Amino acid sequence: MTGIAFGPGDASTLAPQVNALFYALLAFSLALGTFLTLLVVVYSVKYRKGSDVPREGGRLRPMPVEIGWTSATLLTAFAIFAWSAHVYMDHVNPPPGAIVISGLAKQWMWKFRHPGGQREIDELHVPLGRPVVLELGSQDVIHSFFVPAFRVKQDVVPGRGNRLWFTASKVGRYHLFCAEYCGTEHSEMIGSIEVMEPEDYASWLAAQGEGETLAEGGERLFHSFGCSGCHGQSAQVRAPDLAGIWNRPVALASGETVIADAAYVRDSVLMPDRQVAAGYRPIMPSFAGLIDEEELQMIQAYVESLGGQP
């Protein structure tokens, strides 16, 4: 990756679609821009002061001209919009069967954990041709996961999970940048994505050895933080059983109903008083300040693993 960069390189299934749109826009704007420039230059030269060309007659009436080019630009704008919205909406949801990798952004590094628990920092190995979903969280400020060669970028906003997906289409090593300014070492918050043949990826994973998966880590924390003391089977206090709640509706003491998704689990841990489950006393302590983003990701994964709606 040396020499002069003329483009981002194409290494995902999304790249050709974005390229088509980009280069079409480029051709269109160069054509229109050149046309307008020529118009100005030709008129300026032809009608320069003292030039000997007839200027009488042939006046354009503004009204039809204005209506003409307003509708022409409107139609062009609609066409570009429709194309781009189509490409974009097409790519919102990942196809089934994706590998789900979790990622954590913090000042100033990227941490990743594969489904088998293998962990990496500022580096991510992915297999060729298989959709990869990244579930991203931020420990501190807003960061942005950007892989130019994949045409993907997603801000990682603290306090909420952000997701992105891609299917790599070319073996190689690609830049990972943090695209959202995040403080002192923003420009050092870079890394690389290694796209490997599926067999190589499998043997790479095997060589790393199995680590603790997110859900396993969550289970460990569930005990060490004392959650199980209230939520466990043999608990002395009355607290809701977390098995089976994932992505299912939960009735709140306020009379509302919410879906027990990742954000709900997160809020329950950090701000338990905000949404109290119906029929329980609000005795759960807040864990804000005690638990970090990665641990929250683990607990969310653990609650998910206890079952519910996938």
Residues that bind ligand HEC (CB under 6 A): 225-227, 229-231, 237, 239-240, 242, 245, 250, 265, 268-269, 272, 276-277, 280-285, 287, 299
Q: Please state, in angstroms and rounded to a whole number, the distance separating the CA atoms of residues 266 and 161.
A: 10
What crossing angle do the helices spanning 262-270 and 293-305 adopt, rounded to 10°? Answer: 120
Residue 106 interacts with Cu ion (CB under 5 A)? no
Residue 101 interacts with which of Cu ion, ligand HEC, another protein, none, CB < 5 to 8 Å by class: none
Q: Please state, in angstroms and rounded to a whole number, the distance separating the CA atoms of residues 241 and 307.
A: 11
Q: Are 175 and 5 in contact (CB under 8 A)?
A: no
Please state whether beta strands 119-121 and 99-106 pair in parallel, antiparallel, or not at all (unpaired). Answer: unpaired
* Nearest one of 143, 124, 174, 168 to 8, comparing CA atoms: 174
Map the footprint of another protein across residues 186-215, applying CB under 8 A.
186-188
Residue 186 interacts with Cu ion (CB under 5 A)? yes
Map the footprint of Cu ion across residues 125-144, applying CB under 5 A.
143
* Nearest one of 305, 310, 298 to 102, comparing CA atoms: 298
Residue 69 interacts with which of Cu ion, ligand HEC, another protein, none, CB < 5 to 8 Å by class: another protein
Q: Binding segment for another protein among 198-206, 222-230, 250-258, 264-272 (CB under 8 A)?
A: 264-272
C-alpha neighbours within 13 Å on the C-beta side of residue 217: 22
What is the pattern of x (binds another protein, CB under 8 A) and - over residues 134-153?
------xxx-x-x-xx-xxx
Residue 44 interacts with which of Cu ion, another protein, ligand HEC, none, CB < 5 to 8 Å by class: another protein
With tokens 């306020």, the residue in question is 254
- Which helix (DSSP H) or strand (DSSP E) does residue 188 occupy? none
What is the pattern of x (binds another protein, CB under 8 A) and - over residues 234-253?
--------------------
Q: Which CB, 66 or 123, lies closer to another protein?
A: 66
